[in-house]
Chains A and B, each alone.
Chain A
């Protein structure tokens, strides 16, 4: 390619982008390498490779510090909440996207406003409410909170998706005398499968990394989720100066998310941008 002076912005921006990507990748490589080092080796500097690849750091945080337990808790809580959100939000999204009835627009708008409500503005009343019914420090309570707080955005995503599905088949079914719930279950659900899965993946990833609600509502160590568990590790490990262990902990939290995401990146991004397409 010939160098053109007019395209200078292009070269500068591309260089910047390449450096950004390289820095990101390099940072993760450094993180993983460091997680195999002893704390003393970490102090020795970035460029020194670990002498031997010891997995001590990993075993220590997984078992002694209970990271495995936290992962299990997260898996249970996040899977249940994701399923519950989908079950609750799919039918209402279908109804709101396809049927016009008195109040339908107002309901849709109230959900969109809900996306913008910061949890911080409601966690005090929620805490008092949940402690009244003894649902604080409980994983079931956390499932419920995750479900409720994920509702608005999931409904928004699914409405956008249902709108892209043409209504012709449904109309035909109606003429053939199908009831409303029949045509929803037999016609719309199968056609909406990919959108529902995309939304589900999105909700799963977002809840897997959730920290604030867990921090407010969970205190018992046996019930901590992954983010909260890692946070409580920080205090313990920095107290003893165990940086190697902390690096391993961070890798163990990051790796599953990255692997899961990179396998499903297409679907994930499709889920996020479902509402942006025109029309």
Chain B
């Protein structure tokens, strides 16, 4: 349509105003403006529930830079980003390869559905389920290992030495199913004709996957890296609940990401800390680190854009 025509202007102007202005104002008041408010609060010494607010400039940020517990959670977040993206995206690619080679549409749908299922379930339920599976005494994993005669591999998975890996394995199990859906949709849009000549040349399916499919879904790989980075920093429920199954205490520092630490600092219920201003400073740090990481990923991928 010629949107610059007189008719257009007359007919659509009021529609545009009515549809955009209210939603945009809600959106800005409740989602964008609060970021600025966080920034403002982060400059004060304030519990959040009292009238007195003492300005301390960058004091909260200085305190963060020497707060070992916080630094550990920052490090953990990066560990989730790094290890998670290698393991999750690696497995997702392998599964994409396997599933795209299925002949039967029904089988494809079924496998995709089973893999995705965890993403539809409450994180609280999943974290509990996973802690049951890894329970040292009666958990499923140790029982299977013993049943297979591999009892020597059984471990106290929820203990200090393994808890980070245990939490990561939960995230892997869930998110492979999330990314596979995206990868399969991306692989499905590649025209068959591109594979024809490779087939005639006798290339194996693996070779076709590496030489044709992967290069053509690079944009989706980039998107999924960005998404996983965001997830690693903001994932909350899985990590917050995971270890409560047994211990009944706050998530151990070894598995906390910034998000969990931020919640515990601001609203932690078992040992109320209620440092809302300090928490706000964490929120700002989280946001800046995320923005930087996303920017870096985008830059890295910009070098190699493939068109077809």
Q: Which residues of A contact B (CB under 8 A)?
A: 4, 6-7, 9-10, 13-14, 16-17, 20-21, 24-27, 30-31, 34, 42-47, 88-89, 91-92, 94-96, 98-101, 107, 110-111, 114, 116-129, 145, 148-149, 151-152, 167, 170-171, 174, 179-181, 184, 205, 208-209, 211-212, 215-216, 226-228, 230-231, 234-235, 238-239, 246-247, 250, 253-254, 257-258, 260-262, 265-266, 268-269, 272-273, 276-278
Complex alpha-carbon distance, A84 and B114, angstroms: 30
- Interface membership of chain B positions 260-303, coded 1 if the CB is closer than 8 angstroms to chain A and 0 otherwise: 00110011000000001001100110110010001000000000
Q: Which one of B7, B133, B244 contacts A27 once the chains associate, using CB atoms below 8 Å? A: B133
Q: Is B98 an interface residue (CB 8 A)?
A: yes
| Beta-carbon contact of B101 and A269 below 8 Å | no
Q: Which one of A21, A45, A226 contacts B114 once the chains associate, using CB atoms below 8 Å? A: A21
B173 proximity list for chain A (CB < 8 A) = 24
Most buried by A among B109, B186, B283, B290: B283
Chain B: CB-nearest residue to A261: B120
Q: Is B129 an interface residue (CB 8 A)?
A: yes
Q: Is B246 an interface residue (CB 8 A)?
A: yes
A10 proximity list for chain B (CB < 8 A) = 97-98, 101, 204-206
Known: A211-B236, A247-B132. 10 other contacts (CB 8 A): A10-B206, A13-B95, A27-B140, A91-B15, A120-B263, A148-B26, A148-B27, A227-B122, A254-B125, A254-B129
Chain A: CB-nearest residue to B95: A17
| Beta-carbon contact of A174 and B185 below 8 Å | no
| Beta-carbon contact of A17 and B111 below 8 Å | yes
| Beta-carbon contact of A118 and B287 below 8 Å | yes
Q: Which one of A46, A205, A239 contacts B248 once the chains associate, using CB atoms below 8 Å? A: A239
Q: Is B158 an interface residue (CB 8 A)?
A: no
A268 proximity list for chain B (CB < 8 A) = 120
| Beta-carbon contact of B34 and A174 below 8 Å | no
B12 proximity list for chain A (CB < 8 A) = 99, 101, 180
The answer to whether residues A88 and B23 also contact, given A27-B133, A230-B128, A276-B189 and a CB cut-off of 8 A, is yes
Complex alpha-carbon distance, A117 and B234, angstroms: 9
| Beta-carbon contact of B143 and A45 below 8 Å | yes
The answer to whether residues A278 and B129 also contact, given A7-B206, A265-B113 and a CB cut-off of 8 A, is no
Chain B: CB-nearest residue to A11: B98
Complex alpha-carbon distance, A246 and B30, angstroms: 36
Complex alpha-carbon distance, A152 and B185, angstroms: 22
Q: Is B16 an interface residue (CB 8 A)?
A: yes
In B114-138, the 8 Å CB interface with A consists of 114-118, 120-125, 128-129, 132-133, 137-138
| Beta-carbon contact of B189 and A278 below 8 Å | yes
The answer to whether residues A216 and B287 also contact, given A27-B133, A94-B19 and a CB cut-off of 8 A, is no
Segment at the interface with A among B35-43, B54-62, B159-167, B193-201: B35-43
Chain A: CB-nearest residue to B2: A171
Number of B residues contacting the other chain (C-beta, 8 Å)?
95
Q: Is B6 an interface residue (CB 8 A)?
A: no
Chain B: CB-nearest residue to A151: B27
Chain A: CB-nearest residue to B128: A250
Chain B: CB-nearest residue to A94: B19
| Beta-carbon contact of B16 and A95 below 8 Å | yes
The smallest beta-carbon distance between A148 and chain B, in angstroms, is: 4
Q: Which one of B27, B234, B284 contacts A111 once the chains associate, using CB atoms below 8 Å? A: B27
B147 proximity list for chain A (CB < 8 A) = 46-47
Complex alpha-carbon distance, A271 and B20, angstroms: 23
Mind listing 30 A-B residue pairs with CB under 8 Å?
A7-B204, A10-B204, A10-B205, A24-B115, A43-B137, A91-B19, A116-B294, A117-B31, A117-B287, A120-B234, A124-B266, A127-B48, A128-B37, A148-B30, A151-B27, A170-B1, A209-B120, A211-B241, A216-B267, A227-B122, A234-B244, A238-B246, A250-B129, A254-B122, A262-B117, A265-B109, A265-B113, A266-B109, A269-B113, A273-B185
